[in-house]
Amino acid sequence: MKGKLIILSAPSGSGKTTIVKSLLERIPELSFSISATSRPKRENETDGKDYYFLSPEDFKEKIQREEFIEWEEVYANRYYGTLKSEVERLWNEGFHVIFDIDVIGGINLKKSFGERALALFIGVSDPEILEERLRSRLTENEESLKARLEKAEEERSFSTEFDELIINDKLDVAVEECFGKVREFISATLNEPGKM
Ligand code: 5GP
């Protein structure tokens, strides 16, 4: 069976990871697409659960072998990508696949899968909210914080390429909105065969 794709993209700090987790808890038909990355593992992360952590060399080898649906160098020498094998695995298990992915990756997936994909852009009404959230997360140094904020500014301009813009100023409101959109989307019938 070919399932559907639910794409959540947002500038860093917009709360998309929290929203994805909450959707996974509430919608049993969904399963999370574990991305591959070459960035170092954070203390609270598990290989094969949060990401498949690869060395930059292994990552580049998989690019050569065309094992990715999409990949990107999101930050300098920090590669992230979606493996074809990951989406196939989840579809074969009967799930619709949910993605927590950066904005360009989200747009690329939406272009590849068209009607089979629901692309949600998670934003905030004021950029200062992003900075506060990133600072309180304590995972960034000043340099990487600055890089994430600059990237966020640029990414905001791409929100119109998504099916829906969800404002996450209040988490419970944003979760409810996403929940409604995703439920409606996965119960609708598709006209398009979809491709990989
Ligand atoms: P983080 O380092 O905070 O886990 O993620 C950095 C950024 O990379 C986030 O915006 C995240 O959504 C994005 N990202 C995670 N997985 C993928 C992926 O498979 N492809 C792309 N293009 N971006 C990803």
pLDDT digits (tens, 9 = 90+) for 36-93: 999 999 999 999 999 999 999 999 999 999 999 999 998 888 999 999 999 999 999 9
Atom index in ligand 1 nearest the CA of residue 17 equals: 12
pLDDT of residue 192: 63
pLDDT of residue 61: 98
Instruction: Look up the pTM and report it.
Output: 0.86
pLDDT of residue 1: 60
Among all chains, which residue has been given the structure tokens 């990951």? 86
DSSP string, 167-182: E-SSHHHHHHHHHHHH
pLDDT of residue 155: 83
Instruction: Locate 152 and state its tokens.
Output: 């966020």
Q: Ligand 1 centre and the CA of 181: distance in Å?
A: 22
Q: Where are the domains of the chain?
A: 5-187
Q: What is the residue with the minimal CA distance to atom 22 of ligand 1?
A: 105
pLDDT of residue 156: 83
pLDDT of residue 195: 53
Q: What is the residue with the minimal CA distance to atom 10 of ligand 1?
A: 102
Question: Which residues in the chain come in under a pLDDT of 50?
Answer: none
> Are the C-beta atoms of residues 120 and 178 closer than 8 Å to each other?
yes
What's the one-letter identity of residue 165? Answer: L
Q: What is the residue with the minimal CA distance to atom 15 of ligand 1?
A: 101
Instruction: Locate 84 and state its tokens.
Output: 């074809």
Q: Ligand 1 centre and the CA of 123: distance in Å?
A: 16
- CATH number attached to the domain at 5-187: 3.40.50.300
